[in-house]
Structure formats: C-alpha cells, structure tokens
Structure 1
Amino acid sequence: MCLFQYFYLFLEAEIMKSLYTILTLLLCSSVNSIYAQTTLEQVQHMQSTPKHYGVLRTSTPIQIDGKADEDSWQQAAWTDSFIDIEGKHRPHPTYDTKVKMLWDDEYLYLYAQLEEPHVWGNLTERDTIIYHNNDFEVFLKPFNNSPLYYEIEINPLNTVMDLLMPNPYRLGGDALMHWDVKDLKTAVHIEGTLNNPNDTDRYWTVEMAIPFRSLSTYSRRATPKVDDYWQINFSRVQWQHNIIDGRYSRKKQEGKLLHEDNWVWSAIGIINMHFPERWGYIQFLNNQKESTFPVHYLIEKNAWNIFYLQQLYRKSNAHYANSLEDLNSITNILPVANERWSYSFLTNTENSLYQVEVHDKSQGLRATIDNYGNYMLHGR
C-alpha cells in the first residue's frame, strides 16, 4: 500500500472519529435537556409501590375471539382496576378497566375488559396513531438488563399499532414504527354496538396472543421459564367526545382538544408511560401460588431514585452530587448506608459525569446507574 493510501485511510479514520464525537455531544445535549423535565413533586409521586400479578400457565388452547370463554380464563384472576396514571391522589377513573393474563410455551395471553357506554372509533390503518381514538395499550419489557421494550395499542375496530423502543424517549430513544409483532393475534368484542350513539353500550374487550418468539432478539430469548419476571403495564386512553350528525369525534373547547384521561394498571406518578422502571411486574407461574415481587425490586427502585435526584441536584447546582448525603438533602427517599445498603459514587473532576453502584448486601445484589440512564443489575 502506498504512502498516499495510508494517509487517506488515516484521514478518513480521523474524520469518522470527529463526526462520532460531534454526534455524541449533540445526543448528550439533547438527552440532558430532556432530563430536566422531572420535578421534585413528580419524583415524590413516583414512590408508590408497583403492582404485581401471577400469570398462570395454561395447557389448553386459547381461541382469540375477544370472549374469553375457555375454562383457563375462568381460573385466571383479574388485575386490580385501573387508576389514574399519576396515582391515587388523582380522581378515580370514570369507567372500570381490568385485565387477565395466561401463558404457555408460545404465547402471553391477555384479556382486557373496558367499561364504556359509548364504544366508537374511526382509525382503520395499521400503525396509525391509535391513541387518537379511545384505546387499550400494552407495554412489555422482557429483559431486565436491557432498556429495550415493546408497545402495542389497539382500538375498538381492532386496529393495531405496535413498535419497538430501544430506549425510552427521555433517554434519547426513538420508536421503531416499522417493527411489527410477527404473528400477533388480536380480537375485539363489543357488548353493545360500535359507532352507534343511539344506545348505551356496556363494555368492549381486547384479547391478545403475543408470541414470545417475536419478542426475542439476536442475543436474548424472550420465552420465559417458571418463576421468571417481566415488567409490564397497561394503559387506557379515554377521550371526551362530541356527537355531530350521528358521528363521534374528540371533544374540543375553544377550538382545542380537551386533554385525554390516562388510566393505567400500575401508576407511574407522572403523565408519561415511558418510564419502564415504574411499571408493574408479572411472574410466570405453573400453579395457583401467589405472586411476589422479584428480589431485585428494591435495588432497582433505589438506583432509579438516585438517577431522578441527580437530575434535580444538577438543575440546582450545575453539577452532579458525589455523595448520598447531597442527594438526601433534596428529599430523603434513599435508605441511608447501613448493614443492608451501601453506595459508591464515581464522578469525574467536574462532577459532570457519574456512575453510582448500589449494593444490597441482604440479597447479594449490586446495581449500577449513570448519568445517561444506563442501568445494570449484577448478581443473581
């Protein structure tokens, strides 16, 4: 290879490194501007205990028809009724919503019942923005040590929008809308009549079979084993409506759409479903035993509370904290260092970057989190 070719390759490499640096700085700037949106009040509301549910294994076929007639569905328990996304301090939802779940070797099965006196919808194209109609939404995070998660939305017309999120929006993620849950099965049943304002409906239901193989990645297999945990949440978007010339539409006031209601299974504490660390847990069971929280629940909660408080601390001090005492001066939601908990703060000279390690000695677990929201659990 001649000297000119060596020089060309060297120059190309240097240009690529420069472009990478510029893109990284732009991304970090964008991400840091998003971080600043969480307030102390919101962090305090994000301290509620998430829900958990035991998913029973079924050995009989489930027909996806929206009716849940099978004996297995009769054995499955309902979740608690949905509450407002911000938590119990907000008004209770106007209409009841609840879910059942089952699983087998191939699918996670969901059955949701949504009380509704006016069942309507007008979106029929797949992957359109379904929450512009009243809808039911599923959020799934199968892998604890990966930020990747999935979202499925469906309206009363059985129109589906599904997407993959490599990372939450607030951490620089972008929805991959071209991705589909391959071989997803869905059905809707209506106790009433669709798009008919002349009667009063009772409810509409959603039944789904979500194939585990469609959630697997190149390096991670999503098919669960008995006693495995996933994080999951469900959301119901509910709009006030007008009826004009016999047609439903979202209600406006002074030319602007009224805000929708957001009702969920496990409260987030903030009007944003894309906080997967705040979702509930499902445990895949083989019998009728009660579900429990995963052993890593508390260490994960403490790690993310460190992340939230670091953002608040940086807003006030222009740099990150390098001690637990600094963070607990904002609000004392973190357990102090004791025989169970220990913390190790690693920061750069300017305290503009950090990584914190949390150690739960009683469970033999360590977790790390940094200023970019990279969370990792170490241990069992």
Structure 2
Amino acid sequence: MWLLGLFSSISILLTVSGLHAQTNLAQVENMQASPRRYGVMKTNMPIAIDGKDDEKAWALAPWTEAFVDIEGDAKAVPVYTTKVKMLWDDTHLFIYARMEEPHVWGYLTKRDTIIYHDNDFEIFIKPFEQPSFYYEIEVNPLNTILDLVMPKPYRFGGDALMHWDVKNLKSAVHVEGTLNDPDDTDQYWSIEMAIPFNSLTTFSRKAIPKLGDYWRINFSRVQWQHELNDGAYSRKTKNNKLMPEDNWVWSPIGIINMHYPERWGYLKFIDSSDTEVAFPRSYDAEKAVWNIFYLQQLYKQEHKHFAAGITELKGYQRLLDMDRTDLIYEIFSNRREAGYVVEVKDLKHRLTVTLDNFGHYTINYE
C-alpha cells in the first residue's frame, strides 16, 4: 500500500505540475518577457529563522518586484501582492517571502505530500549553469515541506526524485492573522528559509557561490479559490470539479509550466545592494538558441520532422534578431531531419551555445 500511495502521489505531481508545452506561435511569442534579475546581498549579521523579517539584515535587503501571473501580461495582475527578499552568507541562501492573504488556511502536515493541494509557496533553484538538474522546495502555511530534485525538466523525460531532502534546511512560517479561522480577516503569511549551500552540492560539484556568480531561480505561489464546509476551508468546486488554481510567479514563464528553467530569473551574488545586476554574458545566445528550439518543436508538429535551416521556421523574423552581426545561427540536422543540433555563436561575448532536440545544451567560453 505504501508503494501504491507513493506512485499515486508522484502521478498526481506530474499531472498537476503542468506538463503544458508551447503548442503554437502565439504561445512562443508570449514567452519573450525578459527574465527578472535580483542582486542578493551578502551579510554577516545574524538571522533568526522565525518567519519574520525584523532583523537589521532584512531591512537592508531589497524586495523583488511584485509577482505576476505565470503567463505574464497575457493575464490579469494577481489579486494579492507577493514579494521576496534574499540574502546570503558563506553557508546559506536566506529567503523571506510575504504573501498578502485575507484567508490563511492549510491542512497538510506530512512531509513530501503534494503541498500545492493547499495554497503554497514554491522555490525553484538551478545553481549550476550547464547541468540540467535543479531543485524544488514547496511550503504551506503550516510549514510543511515538499522538496525534490529534478535531473531534467519533465518535458525532456525528467522524473521528480521525491526521496531527496534539503539536509539541515531551516524554515518557519508567520501568520499575521489566525490560521484556519474563517471568522476573521488575515493580513498575510510569510515564509523565512535558510537553505544550506552544502545541501545543494553534488558529488562532483560545489554549489557554494562566489561574488559575481549567477544562479537561475524562480518562485511560484499557488492560490486556490476556497469554500467552507462545516466551518473548514477547502478548495472550491463547480459542477463537482475543482476550480482552477492561480499561479503567481516572480519571473513569468509565458505558459502554465514552471519547469522551464531557461525562463527563470537570474540571481547574482553581490556584496552591496547598490550593485546593478546586468544579464550574464551568455544571455543573448541562450535566448536565441531556446527560441530556435521552441520553433523547431512547432515545425515538427506540422511537418513530422525538424527544419534544416533557420529560414524554414515560421516566426523566426520576430524572435531572432537577424540583423545582428555578432550572433551567428546554424542548425546541423541529420540526414532525415529526425534530430538536430543548433549552434549560436556570440562574437561580442566570445562564446558558443549549443542545444539539441533532446534539450542537451552546452556553453563554451573562449
């Protein structure tokens, strides 16, 4: 029974996480918003993990932009405000998130249960530039944690490794109001977290950042409409079906799927909040190579094989800056166009990005 329950949970996770992929050119065009950027300031001040941001260190940390819908400008601005602050020291990444909420509720208490069946807050971290794997941490208003590692995104055959835990993770939730009490109006709930860098380290790679390093990161807030049954909150239904949840994020994806790490925001490790955060050197070439990948997927849907050249891809004029002389695009396909490798050279930044039809990519710096 335990195994059956485990596989059932993973099946639900794969279904509800959103396996939507872009299916038309309009969706690809909606995926063009610039990723958010945040300079995370280094601190040597003590931080007590209690769900509050009342330490001096947090007063110095800037807020992110308010969250938007996961589809960006295609959807309405979220009803409730969500913002995040971050800090780091030699051993931890600190995250504080505040979610405006008049009805704070949650009932799931078992670790690694499907947390977003409650309203939740989710953290996605990709600390290494080239390996595909990344980490996900979810938390509800009861401070119940779901944590997992993804060897690669679902759309490339990735599988959620639910047995992985963030060792020595510290987290706490504060509710400005009363949890699970429908008779009052709450103000917000907040999550404070200290993520040890050593817990994100693999056998061969160290996830301990240096000044100037970039990570990919994003945050998601899953928000359900609710109803009351015998005085208890539950997800709202209509015609015996759950009403769809809202997905509010820091850096918009463009489609309803968080598992596009190439569409996440950039986190830059800095020592002063006054530092302006530019895009990393590889940004232009990476954006171009992924746009070609998305267009190749659309091309194959229509033609049953991949395109052998850029100009065969519908929409390339709008998504690729063909007038730039510092970017060189090439597609290398096999004889039957059943597979390909796309290569984008950035002459200005002296690097080359490659990406194949399986999602394998490299960034080579000269």
Give the TM-score category using the shorter length. Answer: over 0.9
1:268 partnered with 2:267: no
What displacement does 1:36 show?
7.0
What displacement does 1:39 show?
2.2
Give the 3 Å change call, closer, same or farther, for CA 159–236 of structure 1 in structure 2: same
1:81 partnered with 2:59: no
Aligned pairs for 1:178-257 within 5 A: 178-257=163-242
* Residue 58 of structure 1: aligned partner: 43
Contact 1:328 1:334 in 2 (8 A): no
1:318 partnered with 2:278: no
**Secondary structure at 1:41 match in 2:** helix
What's the RMSD between the two structures over aligned residues?
1.3
Contact 1:35 1:171 in 2 (8 A): no
What displacement does 1:317 show?
1.5
Alignment identity in percent? 58
1:247-279 deviation per Cα after TM superposition (whole angstroms, max 9, x unaligned): 000000010000000000000000000000000
Mapped to 1, the partners of 2:24 and 2:218 lie a distance apart of 23
What displacement does 1:290 show?
1.9
Amino acid of the structure 2 residue aligned with 1:355: V
Amino acid of the structure 2 residue aligned with 1:259: P
* Residue 283 of structure 2: aligned partner: 297
What displacement does 1:337 show?
6.4
Contact 1:38 1:308 in 2 (8 A): no
What displacement does 1:62 show?
1.1
* Residue 115 of structure 2: aligned partner: 130
Contact 2:137 2:148 in 1 (8 A): yes
TM score, norm. by length of structure 2: 0.92
Contact 2:310 2:316 in 1 (8 A): no
Mapped to 2, the partners of 1:338 and 1:205 lie a distance apart of 45
Mapped to 2, the partners of 1:215 and 1:290 lie a distance apart of 26
Give the 3 Å change call, closer, same or farther, for CA 365–293 of structure 1 in structure 2: same
Aligned pairs for 1:11-26 within 5 A: none
**Secondary structure at 1:332 match in 2:** helix
1:163 partnered with 2:148: yes
* Residue 258 of structure 1: aligned partner: 243
Contact 2:341 2:357 in 1 (8 A): yes
What displacement does 1:107 show?
0.4
Mapped to 2, the partners of 1:329 and 1:224 lie a distance apart of 38
Give the 3 Å change call, closer, same or farther, for CA 301–330 of structure 1 in structure 2: closer
Q: Could you list the runs of 5+ residues in structure 1 that have no partner in the other structure?
A: 1-33
Mapped to 1, the partners of 2:25 and 2:324 lie a distance apart of 25
Instruction: Please say which of residues 38-47 and 74-83 is displaced more in the overlay.
Output: 38-47
Contact 1:107 1:211 in 2 (8 A): yes
Amino acid of the structure 1 residue aligned with 2:165: D
Write out the 4+ residue segments of structure 1 that deviate beyond 4 Å after TM superposition.
Answer: 34-37, 328-331
**Secondary structure at 1:306 match in 2:** helix
* Residue 347 of structure 2: aligned partner: 361
Mapped to 1, the partners of 2:316 and 2:40 lie a distance apart of 39
Q: Could you list the runs of 5+ residues in structure 2 that have no partner in the other structure?
A: 1-18
Mapped to 1, the partners of 2:246 and 2:238 lie a distance apart of 16
Amino acid of the structure 2 residue aligned with 1:234: F
Contact 2:299 2:314 in 1 (8 A): no
Aligned pairs for 1:20-59 within 5 A: 38-59=23-44
* Residue 136 of structure 2: aligned partner: 151
Amino acid of the structure 1 residue aligned with 2:102: P
Larger radius of gyration: 1
What displacement does 1:345 show?
1.8
How many equivalent pairs are there? 347
Give the 3 Å change call, closer, same or farther, for CA 213–36 of structure 1 in structure 2: closer
